[in-house]
């Protein structure tokens, strides 16, 4: 005599999981830009931002950054977005330089000697410049100071002069622009302005 058996039924096929909700980065362009800039310690070129966000017009990018800066100003934030070294970066306001200086005072390796600062200034204003020209201006040998500036990646070799021996030409780097908060070399203070300040 047969007996009914309650055999387990085959499991129902699982329904495919619903795709995670995604929002186009350009739906919240200011927020997307802010997120990108908050996660990098270097100036982010516009081309890189566009690569990540897709088809974004330069004017829309600039408008979104202006919108963010307006919000920062209205809410009394200690930072804003600035154009630095050919890119965009979130920087603290100058009025907080003293407190930040106190925090980072121990980073002695970032301090430049008067000789290094003088050499760096000459390179910045006269670039591309030969070492011989640099030494003629300073009146002393600059080999060791130049090496130090190159190790800190503030100065680099930018080419060779078209003269006997093809001596090397020196110029400043992108890291120099970032360190001094400059968008490009044209943002250096004018010599005339500096003369007025020291007069």
Comparing CA positions, the residue from 82, 177, 86, 183 lying closest to residue 123 is 177
Asked whether residue 89 falls in the same domain as residue 37, the answer is yes
Between 92 and 26, whose confidence is greater? 92
> Hey, is 45 helix, strand or coil?
strand
Between 131 and 4, whose confidence is greater? 131
> Which domain covers residue 159, as residue numbers?
112-192
Averaged over 161-179, what is the pLDDT? 90
In a domain, 106, yes or no: no
Burial class of 145 by CB neighbour count within 10 A (0 to 12, 13 to 18, 19+) = buried
Asked whether residue 117 falls in the same domain as residue 183, the answer is yes
Between 173 and 180, whose confidence is greater? 173
In a domain, 11, yes or no: no
Taking all residues of the chain, what is their mean pLDDT, rounded to a whole number? 82
Q: What is the pLDDT of residue 80?
A: 94
Asked whether residue 119 falls in the same domain as residue 174, the answer is yes
In a domain, 15, yes or no: no
Asked whether residue 76 falls in the same domain as residue 116, the answer is no
Task: Write down which residue in 67, 97, 127 finishes a domain.
Answer: 97
Q: What is the pLDDT of residue 133?
A: 94
In a domain, 2, yes or no: no
Q: Look up the CATH number of the domain holding residue 169.
A: 1.10.10.10
* Two structure tokens written together for 151: 């190790």
Q: What is the pLDDT of residue 104?
A: 61
Tokens 């500036």 locate to 149
In a domain, 16, yes or no: no
> Model pTM greater than 0.85?
no
- Residue 109 pLDDT > 90: no
Q: What is the pLDDT of residue 199?
A: 56
Range list of β-strands (E), the chain: 44-45, 79-84, 87-92, 129-130, 155-160, 168-172
Asked whether residue 127 falls in the same domain as residue 71, the answer is no
Averaged over 97-119, what is the pLDDT? 74
Q: What is the pLDDT of residues 27-45, one digit of tens each?
A: 689 999 999 999 988 889 9
Asked whether residue 184 falls in the same domain as residue 145, the answer is yes
DSSP letters along 75-132, please?
TT-SEEEEEETTEEEEEE-GGGHHHHHHHTTT-GGG---HHHHHHHHHHHHH-SEEHH
In a domain, 148, yes or no: yes
Comparing CA positions, the residue from 124, 126, 125 lying closest to residue 149 is 124
In a domain, 138, yes or no: yes
In a domain, 57, yes or no: yes
- Residue 54 pLDDT > 80: yes
Asked whether residue 74 falls in the same domain as residue 50, the answer is yes
Count up the domains in the chain and report the number: 2
- Residue 4 pLDDT > 70: no
Between 111 and 196, whose confidence is greater? 111
């Amino acid at each position: 005599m047969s007996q009914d058996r309650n055999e387990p039924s085959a499991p129902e096929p699982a329904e495919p999981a619903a795709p995670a909700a995604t929002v186009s980065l350009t739906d919240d362009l200011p927020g997307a830009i802010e997120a990108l800039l908050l996660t990098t310690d270097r100036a982010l070129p516009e081309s890189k931002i566009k690569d990540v966000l897709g088809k974004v017009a330069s004017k829309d990018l600039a408008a979104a950054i202006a919108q963010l800066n307006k919000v920062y100003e209205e809410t009394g934030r200690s930072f804003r977005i600035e154009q630095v070294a050919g890119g965009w970066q979130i920087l603290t306001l100058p009025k907080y330089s003293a407190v930040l200086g106190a925090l980072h005072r121990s980073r002695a390796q970032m301090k430049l000697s008067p000789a290094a600062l003088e050499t760096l200034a000459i390179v910045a204003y006269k670039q591309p410049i030969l070492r011989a020209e640099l030494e003629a201006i300073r009146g002393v040998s600059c080999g060791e100071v130049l090496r130090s500036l190159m190790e800190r990646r503030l100065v680099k070799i930018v080419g060779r002069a078209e003269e006997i021996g093809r001596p090397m030409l020196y110029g400043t780097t992108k890291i120099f622009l970032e360190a001094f908060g400059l968008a490009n070399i044209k943002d250096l203070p004018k010599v005339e302005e500096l003369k007025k300040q020291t007069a």
